[in-house]
Amino acid sequence: MKGETSLRKVSLLSIMFLILLIGCQSQPEDSSVDEGQEEKQEQSSDEGVNESEELASDEPNSAAVITVEELQEIWGNGETTFETQAPLVGVGDETRAFIDYFGEPDDGAGGFYIFLNEYMHVLENTVNDVGRIVGVSLDFEKTDQPQRTIDETLEEIAAFIPLDAKEIDSYELPSGHGLEYYYESDYVAKVFEDSWHIYEIENRGGFSVQAFFDPNSNDQFNSVVMTVGYKEEPEGE
């Protein structure tokens, strides 16, 4: 079904976000021996290259397209006239509320939209002819702070979680690639009550928040994905 396909698309967003920042920095070698003018010229050239690389490496994240400061400003100044039960806007809300709050998407079609210079991706399902958000993902590698602690990660995604949501469970993902937090919300259950049969879990109003480890760390995270009607069972269940 269309809804099941959409949900699987969201669960695969993590693969898109596991992108390594590849950096290469060379260090100049000291030399106390003067072997002629040609060697001096080569050394000077090498030092110039190394100096350029060092300047580039001083930037927090040269691949960043949006800063944390810019995001905080957007978070604080945005607003929407549409109904929302989240601190900003969130799952269950109309797609138009996201556009009202964040502006027109940078890209997207067919229910999948990209906002904020690729930092935020959202997935839409149509409920009673109205587009509603069923998935939100945040890619920290698109910012100047590509790694976050779990507290920072949960604080960031909390802006999109309905205020009535209750955390039911948390555990490490079976893949070992991150952590999952499972929530239930009466608001989400009500919004999707006529279409809940298309989702993968029985408990109405259930949704998952999956925080994914940075590939080079077991306590820092580079992305987080929230998905309505989806849950990965913990190991052994």
More confident call, 222 vs 45 = 222
Does residue 51 have a pLDDT over 80?
no
8 A C-beta contact, residue 150 and residue 209: no
Mean pLDDT of 12-33: 33
Mean pLDDT of 45-72: 59
Extents of the domains making up the chain? 2-19+67-228
Q: How many residues does the chain have?
A: 237
Residue whose C-alpha is closest to residue 115's, from 100, 126, 104:
104
More confident call, 14 vs 87 = 87
d(CA 129, CA 9): 21
b/e per residue 84-101 (b: at least 16 CB within 10 A)? bbbebbbbbbbbebbbbb
pLDDT of residue 7: 36
- Cβ-Cβ contacts under 8 Å for 19 (sequence gap 6 or more): 141, 222
pLDDT of residue 64: 54
Lowest mean per-residue pLDDT among 52-56, 139-143, 199-203, 209-213: 52-56
pLDDT classification of 58: cutoffs 50, 70, 90: very low
- Cβ-Cβ contacts under 8 Å for 8 (sequence gap 6 or more): none
Does residue 50 have a pLDDT over 60?
no
Does residue 55 have a pLDDT over 70?
no
Residue 201, number of CB atoms within 10 A of its CB: 18
More confident call, 62 vs 153 = 153
8 A C-beta contact, residue 129 and residue 50: no
Q: Tokens representing 96?
A: 């138009």
Residues of the chain with pLDDT > 90, as a percent, come to 55
Sheet containing 107-109: give its strands across. Answer: 107-109, 112-115, 120-127, 130-139, 221-228, 206-213, 178-184, 166-172
Does residue 166 have a pLDDT over 90?
yes
pLDDT of residue 131: 93
Residue whose C-alpha is closest to residue 113's, from 95, 129, 126:
95
Does residue 151 have a pLDDT over 60?
yes
pLDDT of residue 5: 38
pLDDT of residue 29: 39
pLDDT of residue 63: 53
pLDDT of residue 194: 83
Q: Is the dihedral of CA 197, 198, 199, 205 positive or negative?
A: negative
Does residue 120 have a pLDDT over 50?
yes
pLDDT of residue 110: 79
